[in-house]
Amino acid sequence: MNLFEHVGKFSRFLLLVLSKPEKEKLFFSQIVKEIHKLGINSIGIVVIISLFMGAVIALQTAYNMLNPLLPDYLVGYTTRESMLLEFSSTIVGLILAGKVGSNIASEIGSMRVTEQIDALEIMGINSANHLILPKIVAALFINPFLYVLSVFVGILGGLSAGYLTSTVPISEFIYGIQYGFIPYYITYSLIKTAVFAFIITAVPSYYGYYVKGGALEVGKASTKAVVNSSILILLSNVILTQILLK
Amino acid sequence: MHDIDDGAIYYNDRNFTELNRNGKKEIRKEMGMVFQGGALFDSLNVEENVKFPLDMFSSMSEKEKNKRVAFCLDRVNIHNANHLYPAEISGGMQKRVAIARAIALNPKYLFCDEPNSGLDPVTAIVIDNLIQEITKEFNMTTIINTHDMNSVMEIGEKILFISKGFKAWEGNKDQIFNTDNQALNDFVFASDLFKNIKKST
């Protein structure tokens, strides 16, 4: 199947997904379940990765500032800017594309090959809408919180690393994270996070929903979902950055 | 589930193929389906699986829904398994839960795809008899797609033999033994057991 066929099929798939839910009460309860499954269960990995990445960014900045004219607070400033602009939105997005994306593709794919999706269809239920819309809405809701958490934990990691290795005084680091702050960067990153949340849920759902065959094909669909959603995240990152920071 | 390539499908004088999604949904409420593998929802337990069509399509109160679920599960002889997940119950139990889910909305028609595949002969007969009893009790029409001749001879009233995608023979179980339809004879009497039965009759 070529790219244009995929685009057409994905558009038709989205039309099915983005229709009105059958039962609103059931829809909202599913959203809560998905928030737990996709968001709350990802807090651990987001915290661990953000903490260590924040620490590494701070240490690398500190050890690469050979010029004595560069102020110490630059370490805090660089850590904040890296976490705020790129790491907490894009890198966390890529990590979630792997964790959540493979989970969604294999879940929906398994439902397809074990006829569970057919069972929904035979009942007259729009299976794409019933299974996938709650995931998209849940990710759009919870991922911005994960982004904010990642920024805070990353900066905390940088602060801790600077203090524990005695490379940056705490007061300098704290001054750095407040220096030259541009609030719009948060808006920019939250927009990116929302777009990535959509990609992380919609693309793997698409690959899982149209899987044919058995367990082997579900595995292949899961791999394709992760690879293609990662590529789309990187591509949309460039496009959004050009549009929003121009 | 699939769009047709040609022709039309009529359901009680209504052209099914020309109906919109809501129209098709109304008709589908009158149908129950038991899939070959059960197709129970992995993320829901036994009780939630049976309750699912009620949650989606009925306006019953929670109490009424629970009562209906209890009735359906009791009818298929599932006891003390309400909170188990499909992966935690046997194949025969999965089929019975699938039947309970299919009858939850009191359908007019029940479709069964290989309802006793993968089951041992004793459990297969239990499932066959259960389908037959429920069909009579609920005054439904049940259409079973099967390759299992034991099942056909056990509960089949009106039998259609489909060969290579077309109807090749139609009759009842008494007529099968005397048919001169070659394709049907090759299929039914493929095993030595059935060949011997035919010789002895």
pLDDT (tens digit, 9 = 90+) per residue, A56-65? 999 999 998 8
Q: Which residues of A touch B33 (CB under 8 A)?
A: 119, 122
Interface test with A, best of B1, B50, B94 (most A CBs within 10 A): B1
Helix (H) or strand (E) holding B141: strand B141-145
More confident residue, B130 or A191: A191
pLDDT band at residue B86 using 50, 70 and 90 as cut-offs? very high
Is residue A74 within 8 A of residue A65, CB to CB? The reply is yes
Query: Which residue type occupies A64?
Result: N
Query: How far is A21 from chain B, CA to nearest CA, in Å?
Result: 10
| Average per-residue pLDDT for chain B | 87
Residue B194 has pLDDT above 80, yes or no: no
Cβ distance B39 to A116 less than 8 Å, yes or no, reads: yes
Whether A124 contacts chain B with CB within 8 A: yes
Domain ranges of chain B: 32-148, 164-201
Cβ distance B39 to A115 less than 8 Å, yes or no, reads: yes
Burial class (CB in 10 A: 0-12, 13-18, 19+), A132: buried
Q: What is the CATH number of domain B32-148?
A: 3.40.50.300
Going by their DSSP bridges, the two strands B141-145 and B14-15 should be labelled as unpaired
Cβ distance B1 to A114 less than 8 Å, yes or no, reads: no
Helix (H) or strand (E) holding B162: strand B159-163
Interface test with B, best of A16, A114, A117, A130 (most B CBs within 10 A): A114
Whether A231 contacts chain B with CB within 8 A: no
User: What is the C-alpha R_g of chain B?
Assistant: 19
pLDDT band at residue A189 using 50, 70 and 90 as cut-offs? very high
Q: What is the DSSP letter of A41?
A: G
More confident residue, B58 or A174: A174
pLDDT band at residue B138 using 50, 70 and 90 as cut-offs? confident
Structural domains of chain A, count = 1
pLDDT digits (tens, 9 = 90+) for B21-50: 788 888 888 888 899 888 999 999 999 999
Q: Give residues 24 to 63 of A whose Cβ lies within 8 Å of B.
A: 26
pLDDT digits (tens, 9 = 90+) for B50-81: 999 999 888 889 999 999 999 999 888 888 88
Nearest to B103 by CA among B166, B44, B50: B50
Cβ distance A124 to B28 less than 8 Å, yes or no, reads: yes
Question: Which one of B24, B29, B35 has the shortest CB-CB distance to A118?
Answer: B35
Euclidean distance between CA atoms A235 and B199, whole angstroms:
72
Q: Does the complex come out with an ipTM higher than 0.90?
A: no
Closest-CA residue of B relative to A37 is: B43
Burial class (CB in 10 A: 0-12, 13-18, 19+), B113: middle
Residue A47 has pLDDT above 80, yes or no: yes
In this complex, how many residue pairs, one in chain A and one in chain B, have their CB atoms less than 8 Å apart? Answer: 47
Of A77-81, A164-168, B93-97, B153-157, the poorest mean pLDDT is in B153-157
pTM, full prediction:
0.86
Query: How far is B169 from chain A, CA to nearest CA, in Å?
Result: 28
Please state, in angstroms and as integers, the Cα–Cα distance from residue A141 to each residue in A200, B39, B126, following that order. 13, 31, 48
Question: Which one of B37, B53, B57 has the shortest CB-CB distance to A115?
Answer: B37
Euclidean distance between CA atoms B86 and B83, whole angstroms:
10
Query: How far is A48 from chain B, CA to nearest CA, in Å?
Result: 29
Range of the domain at A52: 26-244
Is residue B169 within 8 A of residue B161, CB to CB? The reply is yes
Q: Is residue A7 part of a domain?
A: no
| Percentage of residues of chain A with pLDDT beyond 90 | 85
Whether B26 contacts chain A with CB within 8 A: yes
Residue B129: predicted pLDDT: 87
Going by their DSSP bridges, the two strands B109-113 and B141-145 should be labelled as parallel
Q: Which residues of B touch A26 (CB under 8 A)?
A: 55-56
Helix (H) or strand (E) holding B10: strand B10-11
Whether B1 contacts chain A with CB within 8 A: yes
pLDDT digits (tens, 9 = 90+) for A105-156: 999 999 999 999 999 988 888 999 999 999 999 999 999 999 999 999 999 9
Cβ distance B41 to A119 less than 8 Å, yes or no, reads: yes
Closest-CA residue of A relative to B37 is: A114
pLDDT band at residue B185 using 50, 70 and 90 as cut-offs? confident
Q: Is residue A170 part of a domain?
A: yes
Closest-CA residue of A relative to B110 is: A122
Nearest to A139 by CA among A228, A38, A56, A17: A38
Euclidean distance between CA atoms B93 and A67, whole angstroms:
74
Nearest to A16 by CA among A131, A118, A138: A131
Cβ distance A115 to B24 less than 8 Å, yes or no, reads: no
Q: Which residues of B touch A123 (CB under 8 A)?
A: 28-29, 53, 56-57
